Structure 1
Amino acid sequence: MCGRYSLATPAGNDLRSRFIGLGESLEIRQRFNVAPGDDVVAVTTSKEGEPRGELLRWGLVPFWAKDVKVGYKMINARSETVAEKPAFRDALKTRRCLIVADGFYEWQARADGSKGRKRPFHITRADGAPFAFAGLWASWHGDGAPDEGLRSCTIITTEANQKIADIHDRMPVMLPDAAAEEAWLDHGTPAPLLQELLAPLPEAMTARRAVSYAVSDARHDAPDCLEDASPEDDATAVSGPGDDAAPTLF
């Protein structure tokens, strides 16, 4: 699953040069704790297949949805069933997108089986570089939508690699390089190749680090989310509201 992630890379201009389509007019803010319902930095494509940067609401709202709140149940799409689920199968054909990030969070249950707080981990590329999640987007024009419609997205997940499998059995699809990103966006990429792209990041390219419990509050978005975990935190940890990421229902 992926219920929280970061885009803490401070140099917006570097991101614009790294990801084609992120124009100067797109606001790119430093984010330490991106949560469902937030606007996220993404690269979509026009009808002609040209990349374009935009902000999408995290939590896909299909065009046929009755209520925008359904998006909170669709923050993730499983790679194994994305081509079959009504909410995602049409988007998979021509509404694929890149969701720009530099890490994601996952929570690990306590080894002793106690009910104390789950330990948050920040998971990144081993080289620390920004990357793109494989995503899908949709446009909704239901009651309450802005005049131009609501554009939203979901992050596709796959089985976890062995580097992080002891933390959680799922992970978001982190596209490994620019070639994979280009293929994911390309309207002409055949379906079998799209499925091949929805694979776990190789273990050698993956890094993990235990971080502060500050990230466990979805409303908190500050640098201390990325601070190293401390022994004092574990000694005093107790269960409490907001201690885990949002649920994944797909």
Structure 2
Amino acid sequence: MCGRYATARARQELLDEFRIELDETVAADGADLLQPDYNAAPTKDVPAVLVRPPHGADTPEEAVRTLRMVRWGLVPSWAKDLSIGNRMINARAETLAEKPAFRRAFARRRCLLPADGYYEWYKGEDGKKQPFFIHPKNGELLPMAGLYELWKSPEDAWVWTCTVITAQAADELGHIHDRMPMTVTDPDTWLDPSLTDTSAAASLLVPAAARGLEAYPVTKAVGNVRNNGPHLVAPLPADPPAPSDTPDEEGTLF
């Protein structure tokens, strides 16, 4: 599954890349809600691109492309509390139209979740786990396909939540983990809330590998959600030569 990712692009880059018409990542008090996050984890707020009528509008014709922060871990409208979202961070592409938690959102509330790349943990033969950062080779953004929902809390506050859609990993990355995020072939159609045909929406989904991904090992510090910063996505240095391959002072091998 996709359980950690990095989303650290500047606001203007996201506004330009996704042709945003309404930026809701600035709070009413002026606080900047959009901050670089190299260790986005479940229950944290992450940026999402979606199309819907702004507050106060209620017709589909008024829908605009919006950038806003949403809580990672989808909470269906019928859920009793937020905790169910902890089990809904990923939605399997194979069963989106069937699962009660996802099928309504799949029909009307699709989104894109901008990422620089995502992390997966590879378990070696010795049983130890090594995190890898998987990202587009060309350095471009990875807009992960997602769904969002609105859940009303007991205090009558609306909570926006999301999930990342995943599928079977491509062969070249499947040895690290057997699932990977999905992206879409046509973002405009994917985001269009008037498209309610789930079969048509499903036809737009493609594995993230289609964007040309590469993977490299990174520091295990990413395993602690309290750690953050660009050092988390830095490649680990190459292993030093083994002693048997190291010349001594006279130029011969030990």
Q: Same fold (TM over 0.5)?
A: yes
CA contact (8 A) 1:156 1:173 kept: yes
Which residue does 2:16 correspond to in 1? 17
Instruction: After TM superposition, give the deviation of residue 207 of structure 1 in Å.
Output: 1.6
What's the CA shift string for 1:189-218, capped at 9, x where partnerless? Answer: 443331122221345611212111111112
Equivalent residue runs for 1:1-250 within 5 Å: 1-9=1-9, 11-21=10-20, 23-24=22-23, 26=25, 27-47=33-53, 48=60, 49-110=63-124, 113-116=125-128, 118-143=129-154, 145=155, 147-175=156-184, 180-189=186-195, 190-202=197-209, 205-230=212-237
Q: Does the residue aligned with 1:37 lie in a helix, a strand or coil?
A: coil
Residues 19 and 203 of structure 1: is their aligned pair in 2 closer, same or farther, counting only changes over 3 Å?
A: closer
Q: Aligned-pair distance for 1:34?
A: 0.3
Mapped contact 1:210–1:228 kept (Cα < 8 A): yes
- Aligned in 2, Cα 1:14/1:61: closer, same or farther, shift over 3 Å? same
Q: Does structure 2 retain, via aligned residues, the 8 Å contact 1:75–1:153?
A: yes
Rounded to whole Å, the distance in 2 between the matches of 1:25 and 1:150 is: 14
Contact 1:7 1:102 survives alignment (8 Å): yes
Amino-acid identity (%): 38
Change (3 A) 1:52 1:166: same
CA RMSD of aligned residues (A): 2.0
State the TM-score, normalizing by the size of structure 2: 0.81
Contact 1:120 1:212 in 2 (8 A): yes
Structure 1 unmatched ranges of 5 or more: 233-250
SS of match in other structure, 1:168: coil
CA pair 24-186 structure 1, distance change in 2 beyond 3 A: closer
* Amino acid in the other structure paired with 1:184: W
1:44 partner amino acid: L
Please identify which structure carries the higher strand content.
2
Conservation of the 8 A alpha-carbon contact between 1:102 and 1:131: yes
Structure 2 gaps, min length 5: 26-32, 54-59, 240-254
Which structure is richer in relative contact order (CA contacts within 8 A, separation 6 or more)? 1
